[in-house]
Amino acid sequence: MQAEMSDVMRSSPRRDDAALPPPPAGEGWGEGVSTRDNTQEKRALSRIASSDAIRPPPQAGEVKTARGQMSRMLRAPLLLALALAATPAHAFIAYVSNEKSNTVSVIDTDSWTVTKTIKVGQRPRGIDFTRDGKFVMVAVGDDDTIQVIDAKTQSVVDSLPSGPDPELFAQDAAGKILYVANENDNTVTVIDLEKRARLGDIQVGVEPEGMTISPDGKTLINTSETTNMAHFIDTSSRQIVANVLVDARPRFAEFKHDSSEVWVSSEIGGTVSVIDPKKHEVIGKVTFEIPGLRKEAIQPVGIGMTKDDKTAFVALGPANRIAVVDVASRKVTKYLLVGQRVWHMAFTPDEKYLLTTNGVSNDVSVIDVAAQKVIKTIQVGELPWGITIAP
Amino acid sequence: MIRWLVGLIGWSLAATSALAADPVTIGVGYLGIAGTRSTLSLVEQPAENDGVAGARLAIEDNNTTGKFTGQRFTLEERRIREGEDAVQAATALAEKNGFIIADLPADALLKVADALRERGTLLFNAGAIDERLREADCRANVIHTAPTRAMLADALGQYLVWKKWSRWLLVVGSHDEDKLFADALRRTATRFGAKIVQERTFEDKGGARRTDSGVTQIQRQMPVFTQQAPAYDVLVAADESEVFGAYLPYRTWDPRPVAGSAGLVPRSWDASQDQWGAIQMQNRFIKLNARRMTALDMQAWTAVRMIGEATSRTNSGDVKKVTDFIKGPDFSVAAFKGTRLTLRDWNLQLRQPILLVDGRMVVSVSPQEGFLHQVSELDTLGYDRPESKCKLK
């Protein structure tokens, strides 16, 4: 039902002369869900559709084609067997946190289907595998804790003593120490993962959110949404060593794999700041412009970077697009239309696919990384937010 | 020895740069009227610290950031008692504070603005919703974080039209501000294609807002007052003076929803707003003030945050520098409304989405779907640039 509705909403141009009022927008609530998201997309689509120069990829059509192929395959067992034989041997498992339905959807990247839905605590958002791949940690903000899911049994087995309202977290390279951003009390909590014990707190700016650790493990970056800074924290002394001012509402930070740059997305500012982690200076900015879309609709959040540090993908929230960015020139090369209100993303370990969580359309888009194309849409729970894929 | 010396020098250098100089102090004044107004509903009764409580939270938020930027924010509150001169109070407040958040009636605000113009003090109007302060009586040293009546009326009107409730029964109070709100609602109806099927005036005959006899009479009076109306979809009440609006819901002769000053109300903020990360701020507010956050609190919070945003961006506490940055093209502020808020450069009014609330929930947020604008959809609310009579001076 929801799938059909969102498909219709995404594909049909807006009619001003409609006899009935349009369906109520913004079925979602919670952080970041705007009642105007649907509007912006539909308007953008109708505007783009009216100009012959640029046409959006017929996403809903693609979904249907994919489904059609699937059912045809099921009707032809021989074809199915052939298809299975042709499938690469590596299937991965993705875990998606659904902020509204208080569940985690488990996706099999071979069949691209949801194989299990796990009930978790209230308002699950940040989600990540432990380094050994045995457990999945999910921050359930409204329960003030981080729950631990056993990847084997796919059920909640434990919880971690985070501070109030945990949202995003980062772990050190060894997978021993966890750093948690606690939005409610302006702190980053440090947790010993083995002992499940709280080691201490670090005072940061107002509403800490984005968290990442440098590849050498020496520097932790935390972004604070209302202070508008990236705080550089020395992981050995647990002291802030530098504060870098970025654009409004910084939500996510990502290191280049060669440690030369940190990218920080600013949701309200509409930019990604590129920071030199040695000099602690903003050395460049990625900006976005989408024809037919107002600037305010472009709200960068999640960032993913390929292992060769050549290509970055930036989720643009209610712009319903992923920007493909050339890392060297910091220029956008392409915009990929995904579902509505795209939040975060994760690569499959072979880097063939990139999965994005689309908050308002309740689905996950699958991007073929090499082809830079959206190839699939998978329905998950309500308001999907975070995503992690087994190493 | 040499190594020790080098180490010592290095250490002292590091220490100096870490501690920097003494923090720059940025003084913010809050100027309001003493006492509170009576409302019909007890739960709507404003607290003594309505407004300034929001400023106080923003001072805390700014100071958290200030720890990293070497800036310290202070708040000085001044309440004007009856018979006291607003200009005198404002001038005293401006001695130590380069920025003043004002919750004053329009006339008093204008006097203060003109008196402080030479001094260079920047005023933020957090309370007055009068159109004229942004139109004929606009001032170059007054920034408005409070929305205007036209913005509020348009926000409501867009939703009612979207809902296809386009036949309005307009009930207007007998006080001046009620009439001004009614003017704004009439303009909205004309702009968005709603029809006011009839207008009625509710005369304020005086009397107490709370009585021992209670609701018995009201239950009889309100149906009678609203009977024999032409066919209408929604009753729109203009009662800023809190005389009758809250008595209307569930008591109209015909079973119709009520909007405007009661029922579905347009506001810049509400205690129930929890979208776009607002829950964090609501929690911080409750923790600090032991009550929930009102629209006036939010308007004051936004003003102080605008100052904090500009001081951290300019890395300066200089009033002139900060004022220029706030009025400049690169300024925007995040205020938990899902979009960046910017200033209308022609009259210094803050663009903002308006919430439509029923006292328990946020029902919708305007601008509504389909109301388009070439610059910003937020400019579909209120007077737009081409209509403006403001000449900033």
* Domain locations along chain B: 24-147+270-352, 150-266
B316 in contact with A, Cβ within 8 Å:
no
Rounded to an integer, the average pLDDT of B336-364 is 95
Return the structure tokens found at B332: 């925007």
B138-149: b (≥16 Cβ within 10 Å) or e:
bbbbbbbbbbbb
Q: For A341, name the nearest residue in chain B, comparing CA atoms only.
A: B338
Q: Give this prediction's pTM.
A: 0.78
Planar angle of CA A180, A182, A184, nearest 5 degrees: 175
Query: A229 vs B164: CB contact, 8 Å cut-off?
Result: no
Q: Report the pLDDT value the prediction gives residue A317, as an integer from 0 to 100.
A: 95
Give Cα separations from A368 to A54, A274, A356 (angstroms): 21, 26, 11
Cis bond upstream, residue A215 (ω within 30) = no
Smallest CA–CA distance, residue B326 to chain A, in Å, is 14
Domain B24-147+270-352 identical in fold to domain B150-266 = yes
Rounded to an integer, the average pLDDT of A66-78 is 45
Please answer whether residues A118 and A155 qualify as being in contact, where contact means their C-beta atoms are separated by less than 8 angstroms: yes
Supply the range of the domain harboring residue A357.
93-389
Please answer whether residues B157 and B170 qualify as being in contact, where contact means their C-beta atoms are separated by less than 8 angstroms: no
B280 in contact with A, Cβ within 8 Å:
yes
CA distance linking residue B269 with residue B273, whole number of Å: 7
- Is pLDDT at A57 greater than 70 in this prediction? no
- Is pLDDT at A78 greater than 60 in this prediction? no
Question: The CATH number of the domain where A278 resides is what?
Answer: 2.130.10.10
Q: Which of B332, B333, B365 sits opposite A35 (nearest CB)?
A: B365
Q: In this predicted model, what pLDDT tens digit does every residue of A27-55 receive, in sequence order?
A: 333 333 333 444 444 444 444 334 433 34
Q: Report the pLDDT value the prediction gives residue B38, as an integer from 0 to 100.
A: 87
**For residue A13, what is the DSSP state?**
P
Counted residue by residue, chain A has a size of 391
The overall average pLDDT reported for chain A is 82
Query: A296 vs B376: CB contact, 8 Å cut-off?
Result: yes
Task: Mutate one of B69, B369, B377, B378 to test the A interface: name it (highest A CB count within 10 A).
Answer: B369
Q: Which of B162, B339, B370 sits opposite A16 (nearest CB)?
A: B370
Q: In this predicted model, what pLDDT tens digit does every residue of A309-330 receive, in sequence order?
A: 999 999 999 999 999 999 999 9
Class for domain B150-266, per CATH? alpha beta
What phi, psi does A232 have (nearest 5°)?
Answer: -95, 120
In a domain, A343, yes or no: yes
Query: B332 vs A248: CB contact, 8 Å cut-off?
Result: yes
In a domain, A134, yes or no: yes
Please answer whether residues A179 and A163 qualify as being in contact, where contact means their C-beta atoms are separated by less than 8 angstroms: no
Q: Report the pLDDT value the prediction gives residue B206, as an integer from 0 to 100.
A: 74
Q: Report the pLDDT value the prediction gives residue B2, as an integer from 0 to 100.
A: 53
CA distance linking residue A18 with residue B93, whole number of Å: 56
Q: In this predicted model, what pLDDT tens digit does every residue of A276-308 receive, in sequence order?
A: 999 999 999 999 999 888 888 899 999 999 999
Task: Mutate one of B275, B313, B332, B381 to test the A interface: name it (highest A CB count within 10 A).
Answer: B275
What residues of B are in contact with residue A341 (Cβ under 8 Å)? none
Three-state SS for A276?
Answer: strand
Give Cα separations from B71 to A47, A282, A383, B17, B299 (angstroms): 46, 21, 39, 15, 22
Q: Report the pLDDT value the prediction gives residue B369, as an integer from 0 to 100.
A: 86
- Is pLDDT at A68 greater than 70 in this prediction? no
Q: In this predicted model, what pLDDT tens digit does every residue of B17-59 receive, in sequence order?
A: 444 568 899 999 999 999 888 899 999 999 999 999 999 999 9
Architecture of domain B24-147+270-352: 3-Layer(aba) Sandwich (3.40)
**ipTM of this predicted complex?**
0.73
Q: Report the half-sphere exposure of B177 (CA within 13 A, side-chain side).
A: 13
Please answer whether residues B242 and B37 qualify as being in contact, where contact means their C-beta atoms are separated by less than 8 angstroms: yes
Task: Report the helix count and the strand count for chain A, using DSSP H and E.
Answer: 4, 28
Q: Report the pLDDT value the prediction gives residue A49, as an integer from 0 to 100.
A: 39
CA distance linking residue A151 with residue A94, whole number of Å: 11
Q: Report the pLDDT value the prediction gives residue A83, as an integer from 0 to 100.
A: 47
Percent of chain A with pLDDT over 90: 66
Judged by average pLDDT, the poorest of A32-46, A174-188, B292-306 is A32-46
Rounded to an integer, the average pLDDT of A365-388 is 96
Please answer whether residues B52 and B30 qualify as being in contact, where contact means their C-beta atoms are separated by less than 8 angstroms: yes
A251-276: b (≥16 Cβ within 10 Å) or e:
bbbbbbeeeebbbbbbbbbbbbbbbe
In a domain, A87, yes or no: no
Q: Report the pLDDT value the prediction gives residue B267, as an integer from 0 to 100.
A: 98
Instruction: Look at A195 and A74; give whichever has higher pLDDT.
Output: A195
Residue B213: band (very low, low, confident or very high) from pLDDT cuts 50, 70, 90 = low
Q: Look at chain A and report how many structural domains it folds into.
A: 1
Residue with tokens 């205007």: B148
Per-window interface: B 54-83 vs A, CB < 8 A: 61, 64-65, 68-69
The overall average pLDDT reported for chain B is 92
Three-state SS for A4?
Answer: helix
Q: Which of B64, B338, B369 sits opposite A22 (nearest CB)?
A: B369
